[in-house]
Structure 1
Amino acid sequence: MTSSTPQQPLTLKQSGIRWLWLAILVFIIDNGSKLLVMDTMGYGWPNRIEITPFFNLLYVHNTGAAFSFLSSAGGWQRWLFAAIAFGVCGLLAVWMRRTPATNKMINIAYALIIGGAFGNLFDRLYHGFVVDFLDFYYGNYHWPAFNIADSAICLGAALLILDGFRADKVAKAH
């Protein structure tokens, strides 16, 4: 019978919490870009700014979630998505607290998701909608408009998936 000594909890300095600076940076960049768009662009399609043959700046409001999911639900979805954002951010912060700061990929992923979620949460609570302005398209097909926060959330999710594959390779090697 082997005895195992209980593992000491990580100090704040040793934990992934120290990566929250990245979440704050994402939040600042996201909200700064949205303020710039709201202050300098007219709303809607007629006011789009064509950047390239496949990309426009287009100021629109999204009262729903990703891809305007539940955007016409009548307003209750604002509070549902806010509650989900708070819950997910809280859970990710707990996981960051338990993850060593040296595990960079996973902590960066958590921080990107937290920063993006709080960026869109701020919009939802302050404006009642999320400001979107990045419009990619091919021909007449337009991907749903999105913002910096959405990009950070997607990048964070991709990093989590990549880390999962990476963890599988390490486990199989041993």
Structure 2
Amino acid sequence: MRTNDTHTPTPNSVVWGPLSGFVLTVALIGLVIDQGAKLWLLYSVDLGSTGPYRLLPVLDIVLVWNRGISYGLFQQYSDLGRWLLAGLTVVATIALWIWSVRTLDKFVALALALIIGGALGNGFDRIYHGAVVDFIHFHVGTFSWYVFNLADVWIVAGVIGLLFDSFFRSPNSAAK
């Protein structure tokens, strides 16, 4: 159970809070790992020319340029669409940062940091490459999961953390 209130505002709570250093550090580590993997695969391995690579019977490394959002939804082939999605990423990241500034719960801060790091990783891709670099492909038999990247892993882990917090850790949890 929680020992403190996660929504108590602090002075200057829009800019910096008690766990902001932690959130910033985790988000930047996630961003660096994500971008490092993408840059390595694009420019050292030259995945676009040399791939795909089968790592396991159920795991391939392939190159997919995702011009949409999660699961390839809302594909954008125009510059206007690309910049609208980039703008949405900025707005969402700012909103998540403000939420993280107000939290006093390290678990929630970690979940938000993962989402922020993932959003920044995919946002940088969209701005620099015009599309998000996806490369991890899980498949079993004829079932194929969508192709994703490490930033997506961070986002999903963060969302799972927030859901876990909401249902199992919060004082007003539906589980009680």
User: TM range, normalised to the smaller chain?
Assistant: 0.7 to 0.9
In structure 2, the residue matched to 1:126 is: 128
Structure-to-structure mapping, 1:84-99, within 5 angstroms: 84-99=88-103
Structure 2's unaligned 5+ residue stretches are 1-7
RMSD: 2.4
- Give the counterpart of 2:161 among 159, 162, 170: 159
Aligned residues of 2:76 and 2:82 also touching (Cα < 8 A) = no
Contact 1:10 1:97 in 2 (8 A): no
Secondary structure of residue in 1 paired with 2:75: coil
Equivalent pair of 1:10/1:98 in contact (CA under 8 Å): no
Q: Does 1:29 align with 2:33?
A: yes
Aligned-pair identity (%):
32
Matches within 5 A, 1:1-174: 9=10, 15-19=18-22, 20-39=24-43, 40-43=45-48, 47-71=51-75, 73-100=77-104, 103-168=105-170, 170-171=171-172
**Offset at 1:71?**
1.9
Q: Using the TM superposition, give the Cα deviation of residue 146 of structure 1 relative to its aligned residue in structure 2, in angstroms.
A: 0.4
Aligned residues: 164
Residues 28, 41 of structure 1: alpha-carbon distance in 2 compared, 3 angstrom cutoff: same
Q: TM-score, normalised by structure 2?
A: 0.83
Q: Does the CA contact (< 8 Å) of 1:41 and 1:59 recur in 2?
A: no
Q: Write the deviation string for residues 32-66 of structure 1: whole angstroms up to 9, x where unpaired.
A: 0000110213327x821101110001112111111
SS of 2:136's equivalent?
Answer: strand
1:72: Cα distance to partner? 5.1
CA offsets 1:85-127 (integer angstroms, 9 cap, x no match): 1111111111111112xx1110001100000000000000011
**SS of 2:48 mapped into structure 1:** coil
Q: 1:28 to 1:96 in 2, by over 3 A?
A: same
Q: TM-score, normalised by structure 1?
A: 0.84
1:118-137 per-position Cα deviation (integer Å, ceiling 9, x unaligned): 00000000110111110000
- Return closer, same or farther for 1:42/1:167 CA change in 2, 3 Å cut-off: closer
Secondary structure of 2:47's partner?
coil
Q: Which has the larger radius of gyration?
A: 1
